[in-house]
A and B are shown apart, each in its own frame.
Chain A
Amino acid sequence: MGNPFTKKEREDLLSKFFDLTNKSEEIMNKIDNVNSVEPTEALTKNLSAINKELGELWTSYKDGVPFKNLSKCPFTGELLTHSLDINGLNGLWWNTDLPTRPEENLPKTYFAMSGAMKLNTPIESFPFLCATGPEVPFVLPRLLQYTQMKAVISSTTVGKHIVYFIFYYADPMIYNIERVNDYASNSYSYVNTNNEIKTWTSYENIKDFDLKSWIENGKLLWIFPEDEDLILHSDVSRCPYLNLEGSKNNKYIQNEKIWSGKNIDIKEYFANEDTSGENTTNTKNNSEEIDQDILKKAIKYMSEGGL
């Protein structure tokens, strides 16, 4: 972990970085343009110099991203410290296609990092794509179906926005199953059984936004927002993450524009599965019991390779 940049250093760095990125694109357009009057050799030389400087800025940014205690392992009590650009979404950390993140030193029980974000105005301006996920937190039944897997939800602020982290932990570790992309990223890294670091991409996962039952059955623990001691809790009555207002659709931001992408909510996915035959005369009217039925069907469906 290097020395974290100050706000001013970060602003200057990013300003220069985006400026040089624009210049780089302009030059590449000129090179591609057969009608350009500027000599290719000069353009290429200029481009090379800019790229070199971009590389240095990129390294400076990576070295300056702060680390923050974000979670705690529910099996060992070990703190999880992760890099996070808390100053705003315009940081390169938040570039979904090419996230700039330093090497992490994570607990050996760490399995995956997922997240959600409640966006507030003003939205920062940046040229890259940032996928912030839904506005309310969720869990992934596909992962929590394993007995040795648990999740912990915590939250902090990034600029004006509230980010909900859901970290997954496994004890003992599970190998050879697909994980989930690191939050706001399009890939994830993991350590395999040969102790090698590998990178992979996961595609859309079915989400469950109803957290209460997962807390009740011990699969999800929570930490009070901004609790610096990161004390883990398992009671439902005080959990601040239940019934939050916000969209369940994924949010995408680029060049100050926000748009949504439809998410797969487990209840909606299976809600219409069987509305005739047995279920119409089913004596179960309790919606919670029906929801549990849907959940069990979903897990069975996924484990049989339905996705």
Chain B
Amino acid sequence: MMENKFMKNKKGQYIIELNKKDISTIFIDEFGFTHNEMSPFNDKLNKYAKGSQTITSEAKGLIKDKIFIEASKTLANPYLLITTRLGGGTFNFDEIKIYKAKNSDLLVALSETPNNSYYIQVFDDYNSYIKWWVESYASKNDETVANFIPPKVKLEELLFMLHTIDYYKRLTYQNLLDYKTQTPLLAKFTDFSENMNKSIKSRDIRWLLPAFIAMTPGIAKYNLDINVEDVKVLTTQNFIGNKKDPETNENMMAFGESSLIMGLEFMRTWMLCAGFEIKILINDKTKEIDRFFIAPTALTNHFIRLEDSDDNKCMVNHQAYTIDQLSVKMQEIFEASVDQKPTSKFCSKCSTPLSENAKFCIKCGNKS
């Protein structure tokens, strides 16, 4: 028989398992909570008739727990929602939603289990969450490395660069399988572009490009418009160049310094990635605040921040962060998000809510 449990894991984090069937009785009958549209249980609670179910013994034990009570308040009326996805490389896909209420510092993470229940993980505040996340998943390297994708580039251009990194891995593996030693690695431009189409459609998160698309929540909203001009960034940033095939004299694509270094880095040391989307409920409307993607490797933490631009397009800012830089940047983003107050002021460029006396947009830097 399934039981509601609250338990501490090895790292001292507070984790509770909550049966889905107990949610309505706990939230409505026992706690009498109101709930808002951002609550993960909003639909369920809306459909529940008060008193129509009997509270289980498991739930009776749970409702006395102080931490569970505070976490439930947050889940009933959150104003901040962080959707985070983890996976890619050698990891399976997982999605966790994290909630925060206005009058509480707690961050409450919610993930579904296969057992018709939820795991609820409670963090004291966003700093605790960031510390846990960085310790669990970030690259521990504290040396800086070169950033071969300096800011800013179009989202479409980034996709080409990610595919070039994947393609280096692909050709290296192909040579291994064919017992070939081709130096330098050469490819046909047509093969490269055809493979990119397949890669995007595949959603195979073992490869970096599809992982980036699958792992970044909300990326589907951007009006992706890949065209020939976007390929130029590959030569501009020394990802590819032209070279004649010594045997056929055909004009081929060769990997440049940037893709050689990044290709090797990702081929040998990339294990997983994570995407984040932050939304707030402000003036009764849900607004997107931030969106970013992290791919740790042995060398660095690749941090890609997606910034809205005109016509539903996107510019990306890629940085290669040490572990400390990553922590600081995540703290900065979370702090800016949790400090959002009801406001009538929004950025004229990206619609991010701003504080009344803000001179610049915290997201895109536009003067307000």
A and B interact physically? yes
A11 to B145 CA separation, bound complex (whole angstroms): 47
Pick out which of these stretches binds chain A: B77-85, B148-156, B208-216, B273-281. B148-156
- The reply to whether B324 and A147 contact each other, CB–CB distance below 8 Å, is yes
Those of B125-175 within 8 Å (CB) of chain A? 142-148, 150-152
Q: Is B58 an interface residue (CB 8 A)?
A: no
B48-71 vs A, CB cutoff 8 Å, 1 = contact: the mask equals 000000000000000000000000
Pick out which of these stretches binds chain A: B4-12, B192-200, B315-323, B338-346. B315-323
- The reply to whether B324 and A221 contact each other, CB–CB distance below 8 Å, is no
A108 to B367 CA separation, bound complex (whole angstroms): 12
Q: Which residue of B lies closest to A220 (CB)?
A: B146
B258-278 vs A, CB cutoff 8 Å, 1 = contact: the mask equals 100000000000000000000
Q: Which residues of B contact A233 (CB under 8 A)?
A: 150, 237-238
- The reply to whether B238 and A235 contact each other, CB–CB distance below 8 Å, is yes
Q: Is B332 an interface residue (CB 8 A)?
A: yes
Contact of B256 among A73, A232, A235 (CB under 8 A): A235
Those of A29-56 within 8 Å (CB) of chain B? none
Q: Is B115 an interface residue (CB 8 A)?
A: no
Pick out which of these stretches binds chain B: A74-82, A84-92, A272-280. A74-82
- Main secondary structure, interface of A, reads loop
Q: A231-B236, A237-B238 are in contact. Are A75 and B257 (CB under 8 A)?
A: no
Q: Which residue of B lies closest to A229 (CB)?
A: B236
B307-341 vs A, CB cutoff 8 Å, 1 = contact: the mask equals 00000000101011010110010001000000000
Q: A172-B332, A233-B238, A235-B256 are in contact. Are A215 and B146 (CB under 8 A)?
A: yes
- The reply to whether B328 and A172 contact each other, CB–CB distance below 8 Å, is yes
- The reply to whether A237 and B257 contact each other, CB–CB distance below 8 Å, is yes
Residues of B bordering A, CB below 8 Å:
142-148, 150-152, 236-238, 256-258, 315, 317, 319-320, 322, 324-325, 328, 332, 360, 365
**What are 18 inter-chain pairs, A to B, with CB distance below 8 A?**
A73-B151, A74-B151, A75-B319, A76-B152, A108-B360, A147-B144, A147-B322, A147-B324, A147-B325, A217-B143, A217-B145, A217-B146, A218-B320, A221-B147, A233-B150, A234-B150, A235-B258, A236-B257
Residues of A bordering B, CB below 8 Å:
73-78, 108, 147-148, 172, 215-219, 221, 231-238
Extra pairs beyond A217-B146, A237-B256 (9, CB < 8 Å)? A74-B151, A77-B152, A78-B365, A108-B360, A147-B324, A147-B325, A218-B320, A232-B150, A237-B238
